[in-house]
Amino acid sequence: MFGKLIHKKSFGLAIALFAFFLILPFFVSRFYIYIFALIFVTGLLATSLNIVLGYGGMFQFHHSVFYGVGAYGFVLMLTKTDLSPLFAFIVGPIVAALISLLLGLICIRLTKLYFGMLQLALGSLIWAIVFRWYSFTGGDNGIHGIPLPSVISSTSGAYYFTLIITAICLIFMYLIVNSPFGSVFQAIRDNPERSEAIGVNVKRHQLIGLMIAGFFAGVAGILFVTVEGSVFPDMMFWTFSLEILIMCLLGGWFTFLGPMLGAAIIVSLRTFVGIYTEYWTLILGIVLMLLIFFLPEGVLGYFVERFQPHDKAVLSGEK
């Protein structure tokens, strides 16, 4: 009974937050609308990483490559073909999921740190191809002046599109981590040897998890193009993958909404502290040091640990 009450409260809070973000553009300037849209995009990307990191226990060190592949797949379909923009929206995430599967098939033989290091190397190879292929990807100049549909070409249109798609993706990811697949995936994270001993196909589940994470990262890439109106290779560079990883750790990588909170903190630090100093990463480093010493489970994870089991299950995305 208590668990049902917590579920109702959490659902009500989610509806209230969504309603708040719906009316937000009426009360803030275009700059803040842009910042919130960027937080949604980055939070979605971090949450997609957390599917394989926090729930799957896989060290995904170069997740931003799928973010970039989704964005470039979307943009190239818009600029190089005469196909419908709707088709481009579909192609971007699918290509990102397929690339994630391909890298997974190569790296899946390794575990933990070695998996992450090999994926980092292969992801950097994809970045190098995009960075140097001027005739197709625009090279280090990127692609600008993208012909977006008129309904999402304005600041408010991009904001609402990003908000709605992010909400839909979060709902789907929440359902996935609470599905039987999600339960098995977490069991593999906790003890892959025992899971395999009871008949679970560990590698197949891990590959599916990688494809799911790559797909939603591709969606985030499309939303980034919608917000920024451009695409460039730096969004696939390994340092950005490290930043996304930090978002998961900062917010709480064993919680469902922790990466969203981590993204909000990092984007806010980069934006507002960066106004006063170019050394905002120094502030981030201090924050991370304090986090390691005092909140090793992350900001949201800290509060989740202090709730009753039913509360913890809701906030962490577990049944």
DSSP string over 148-202: --GGGTSHHHHHHHHHHHHHHHHHHHHHHHTSHHHHHHHHHHH-HHHHHHTT--H
User: pTM score, two decimals?
Assistant: 0.91
pLDDT value, residue 9: 58
Distance of CA 11 to the CA centre of its chain: 22
pLDDT in the model for residue 169: 96
What 3-state class would DSSP assign to 236? helix
CA distance 251 to 153: 31
Query: How confident is the model at residue 14, as a pLDDT?
Result: 78
- Identity of residue 201: N
- Residue 137 CA: distances (Å) to CA of 146, 188, 223: 13, 38, 18
Q: Which residues of 218-244 are buried (b: 16+ CB within 10 A; e: fewer)?
A: bbbbbbbbbbbebbbbebbbbebbebb
Q: What's the CA gap between 70 and 94, in Å, rounded?
A: 8
| Residues pairing with 144 in the sheet | 230
pLDDT of residue 6: 42
Q: Please list the residues that pair with 230 across neighbouring strands.
A: 144
What is the distance between the alpha carbons of residues 150 and 142, in angstroms, rounded to a whole number? 22
Per-residue pLDDT of the chain (319 residues; tens, 9 = 90+): 434 434 555 667 778 888 999 999 999 999 999 999 999 999 999 999 999 999 999 999 999 999 999 999 999 999 888 888 889 999 999 999 999 999 999 998 887 888 999 999 999 999 999 999 998 999 989 998 888 888 898 889 999 999 999 999 999 999 999 999 999 999 999 999 899 999 899 999 999 999 999 999 999 999 999 999 999 999 999 989 989 999 998 888 888 989 999 999 999 888 888 777 777 778 778 877 887 788 778 888 777 777 645 444 444 455 4
Q: What are phi and psi of 250, to 5 degrees?
A: -65, -45
pLDDT, residue 289, reads 82
* pLDDT given for residue 315 in this prediction: 44
What sign results for the dihedral spanned by CA atoms 243, 279, 121, 109? negative
Q: How far is CA 66 from CA 37, 93, 167, 233, in A?
A: 20, 8, 20, 12
User: Cβ–Cβ contacts within 10 Å for residue 273, how many?
Assistant: 16
Q: Are 83 and 140 in contact (CB under 8 A)?
A: no
